[in-house]
Amino acid sequence: MGAGSCGWLPCVAHHLFIYFFREPERIVGKDAERVFAPADGKVVVIEEIDAPEGMDCERCVQMSVYMNFYNVHINWFPVSGEVVYKRHYDGDFMLAWRPKSSSENEHTMVAVRMENGTTVGYRQIAGWIARRIVCYPEVGDRVEQNTKSGCIKFGSRVDVFLPIGSEILVEIGDKVVGTQTPLARLTK
């Protein structure tokens, strides 16, 4: 190897690391009636469930966005408002697309109360390779829609929890782009 050469394996690893942690510039808007994708990926779940902790309702709609290795792993706030709940849970590191990973994997749950009183939650879920969740907001923080809320290093999935009756704008299998794709329109 010549001077300045780093060998092929370290160079490839370096480029993959930079690719994985990229943060692209995006034009972002705000719309108080819409809930935007908090992550890049593929919609893998849309279902009515018992509301998780932090939500102010008994039932809600869960929408899950699975991030594969090639997706940007930055996460964004799906709505604007005040953070009224945040909690980190230790757990397993199963494959993130599995239904049980939502509650059994390591995760962080955040709930944001919007100006109109509606609470929207999101859960960052670690996966098989992912071992580190970064979640910036604290309870009491005022957050803005489509601004950075954290990231999941090397993985995985973000669940969004919406009020029953929200108009769902995507389908299972749809690819979504964080800050760009509206997932739902709130009816309240």
Token pair for 58: 């008994």
Q: Are strands 59-66 and 157-162 parallel, antiparallel or unpaired?
A: antiparallel
In the annotation, is 156 catalytic? yes
Q: What is the DSSP letter of 51?
A: P
Q: Which of 64, 80, 102, 156 is catalytic?
A: 156
In angstroms, the CA 122 to CA 108 distance is 8
Q: Centre a 10 Å sphere on the Cβ of residue 66 and count the other Cβ atoms it contains.
A: 21
20 within 8 A of 69, measured Cβ to Cβ? yes
Closest CA to 129 of 111, 147, 152: 152
Give me the active site residues, please: 156
